[in-house]
Structure 1
Amino acid sequence: MKITTIIENSKPVDSNLECEHGLSFFVEYDGKKIIFDTGKDGNNFLENAEKLGLDIKNADYMVLSHGHYDHTGGVIPYVDTFGNDFKLIINPSVFYPRYKYNGVKKVDIGMPFGREDLEKRNVNTIFSEDIETISENIDVISGFSLHPEYRMEDSGLFCQENGVEKKDFMPGESVLVMKYEKGLVLLIGCSHSGVVSIIEKVKKLYDEKIYAVFGGTHLGVASSAFIDKTVQYFKNSDIEKIGVCHCNGEKAGYKFKEEIPDRYFQITTGKVIEI
């Protein structure tokens, strides 16, 4: 299994790659090539993939974790550059209008394209609200409820569902679950419902150990108490590899490093994870 970080918020000092407030991974596993999220800026996404020597042109699947601009900016540039010979897996809620308030001003943080843009380009789109199987060892899981103890705190994000404004805890977020000889490997975009909410659902669906969790935890906007509780959950678990990035935040990063330095690591632009 090889997971390459095409783009993330940070990068090594000597890197010639671009970084941005966004996230994108390229997964090569079980005979499949999967783009998981596409960052914020389509040009950065495409240029980094080329510099990294990644064969994204021949991706079998593209999976979007959720409908925010910093995870979906490369979709249309990708299709316009390489064509539509892939399958796109998304939860239908990605098309909800999404925003936050800056004082009284509403700031759009949703996707930079709509359903009609995909239809115009004849993108083979699979709408999944539960489990979509990619291969014998790869699933896309969606539809998360808020864990009663580890539900994500209110981070001031909103969406409109059927014209009604509501707090956005992203139950329709999609997660990649890969079966590996040492256990399950989870690839997560932002954990808007809470990273533990996601892990606990996966544990209920699969009678297998979770070996690794990689991706965004959304702890950058969480309170110190919530960060401490979440890190302790990981510390008390048997998850062996914990790679975090994007929306994890410095405070949570310090806490992970302090409590479980042997299992935690930071994911940056260009980082390659091979297991």
Structure 2
Amino acid sequence: MEYQLKPADRVEVTILVDNYIDFFIAASTPVERRLPFDPDRRIFAEHGLSCLVRVFSGKKEHKVLLDCGLSEQCLAWNARQMGISLADIEAVVLSHGHFDHFGGLHGVLSGAGRQVPLIAHPDAFLMRRLNNPARGPVDLPLLDPVTLKKAGADILMRSGPSTLASGHLLVTGEVERKTAFEKGMPGMEAYMEARWQPDPIRDDQALVINVKDKGLVVLSGCAHAGIINSVEYARKITAVDHVHAVLGGFHLTGPASAQVIPPTIGAMKRINPDYVVPMHCTGWDAINRFADAMPGKFILNTVGTTFVF
């Protein structure tokens, strides 16, 4: 099924939470807006992700938040330091139900003073654990729908594609998995059908915007479905072939991911986006390899950067 995604005049993606920060990094491409150095500004990094997405069409502006980082403190603090209010966002999209993406969600909802639509896949609320053979199972923080509703969430559980921002922004829903080398996250387990079993992380989803005369901007949270699967699925359901930018976590960190990095980069080069911005869980090794393999297209992210497409 194809979704007629309305073209946007411009999209701005501001990184409120990510793993990496550099106060002195300079812009290397026309699409970056780096925060000017200010010794009085305190910006933090943590193992998490949160992106404010502003979509512009004509005189209208839409604000949607993708994910809320690891901690409530980091997201709220960084937003204040950057002079950004989250009280007027139209919706929050949860890329998946892992703790480093919903940590600041309660604070965002309670600070809005109204009901805020929260778009999430039903599996985002599963009980989960990481089963490490050396240490045994480690339970992960649980996303509680009752607490979120009390905080002001209007929870919209959607497993398929849906649109926001008056039809200018697409939430992919569950991503088709077709690549042979993207196999999810080994060791993850979820409590399903009354037992613990391997977790396919079906709730993993991405945001997609079609920028007029530029092509698709694809923003992932962790891309547990595979960043190549995510981009190809976005192309399929929008019927837009050209990809302008791919941003977000690509989940290529850790020993199990080492063999996945080369085919991922090879596939991304064939997709040939104008820009690629690996963040969060992509991992330092993979980020450096993207930089080497895609000069002129690769952008090193840092907390506080706004990407303007």
2:77 equivalent to 1:47: yes
The answer for the alignment partner of 2:94 in structure 1 is: 64
Residues 1:256 and 2:287 aligned together: no
- Corresponding residue of 2:248: 215
- 1:147 partnered with 2:178: yes
Amino acid at match of 1:171: R
Q: CA deviation at 1:13?
A: 4.4
**Mapped pair 1:124 → 2:150:** no
Deviation of 1:8 after TM superposition, in Å, equals: 0.6
How do residues 1-275 of structure 1 correspond to structure 2 at under 5 angstroms?
A: 1-13=11-23, 16-30=42-56, 31-102=61-132, 103-111=134-142, 113-134=143-164, 135-152=166-183, 154-181=185-212, 182-208=214-240, 209-221=242-254, 222-275=256-309
1:146 Cα deviation after fit: 2.5
Q: What TM-score comes out, normalization by structure 2 length? A: 0.84
Cα displacement (A) at 1:154: 4.4
TM-score by length of 1: 0.93
TM-superposed CA distance for 1:29, in Å, is 0.7
Tell me the CA shift for residue 104 of structure 1.
4.3
For 2:78 and 2:179, the matched residues in 1 are separated by 40
Tell me the amino acid that sits aligned with residue 12 of structure 1: D
> Aligned partners of 2:266, 2:87: CA distance in 1, in Å?
41
Map Cα deviations across residues 20-49 of structure 1 (whole Å, 9 max, x no partner): 111100111132111110001101111101
- Counterpart of 2:140 in structure 1: which amino acid? I
Question: How far off its partner does 1:86 sit?
Answer: 2.2
Aligned to 2:37: none
The structure whose RCO (Cα within 8 Å, separation 6+) is larger is: 2
What SS is found at the alignment partner of 1:142? coil
Describe the SS at the equivalent of 1:57: coil
**Cα distance in 1 between the residues matched to 2:259 and 2:136:** 30
Q: How far apart, in 2, do the equivalents of 1:13 and 1:238 lie?
A: 29
2:16 touches 2:52 (CA, 8 Å); kept in 1? yes
Unaligned 5+ segments in structure 2 are: 1-10, 25-40
Q: Distance in 2 between matches of 1:48 and 1:5?
A: 10
Q: Percent identity?
A: 26
Contact 1:187 1:215 survives alignment (8 Å): yes
Q: Give the letter aligned to residue 108 of structure 1.
A: D
Q: Deviations over 1:80-103 (max 9, x none)?
A: 233234211111110011111243
Residue 150 of structure 1 contacts residue 197 of structure 1 at CA under 8 Å; is this kept in 2? no
